[in-house]
Amino acid sequence: MSRVPDLASRIREAALLEGDFVLSSGERSSFYVDKYLFSTEPNLLRDVADALAAQMPEGVERLAGVELGAVPLVVATALATGLPYVIVRKSAKEYGSSAGRNIEGNLQRGERVALVEDVVTTGTQAVRAARNLDEAGAEVVTIVAVLDRREQNGGELDGYPFQALLRMDDLRVVKKN
């Protein structure tokens, strides 16, 4: 994908922060990617969504995104692909017409779903969301993230096919003068 290097530099400029940060895993890092800084910029969000859309395997019938961080990404990717989407809650809603549900939107049993994620540090949230989709009767055919922070390379997250547009090394490139 020829646009990934450009995306890497644009996301680096928009969202890579240096300092002392505690990650979702509890580990400390001198780098942090603030997903809201790249997902709230319309031009960058559109290009990220186009790149995510290009990674969708044949036969995907619906997209899914985890609340809150992946919602702008899944919406933009749905607009880029024309595919419908659902939002996977981190915990079931306790009120209203969807009380007790952890998936918002229409999801049919047997649908082939691609889960869109923002930043994967351990993969715990993505795997939890994928399992919720499985329990609802969907078939999760891939998890596609914007950024993979994990140390290991790998094409799976706990048995689910996984791919990412960028790895942390793509963003930490030393700038040459």
Is residue 26 classed as helix, strand or coil in its secondary structure?
A: coil
Architecture of domain 4-171: 3-Layer(aba) Sandwich (3.40)
Report pLDDT digits (tens) over 17-27: 999 999 877 88
Q: How far apart, in whole angstroms, are the C-alpha atoms of residue 13 and residue 171?
A: 9
Average pLDDT over residues 84-104: 78
Is the omega angle on the peptide bond into residue 68 within 30 degrees of 0, that is, cis?
yes
Cβ partners under 8 Å of residue 176, min gap 6:
none
Provide the mean pLDDT of the chain: 89
Is residue 14 classed as helix, strand or coil in its secondary structure?
A: helix
Structure tokens at 16: 């890579």
Report pLDDT digits (tens) over 110-158: 999 999 999 998 899 999 999 999 999 999 999 999 999 987 776 899 9
Look at residue 1 in the predicted model and tell me its pLDDT: 40
Q: Give the chain's radius of gyration (CA, Å).
A: 16
pTM > 0.95: yes or no: no
Whether pLDDT at 98 is above 80 = no
Whether pLDDT at 83 is above 70 = yes
Percent of the chain exceeding pLDDT 70 equals 88
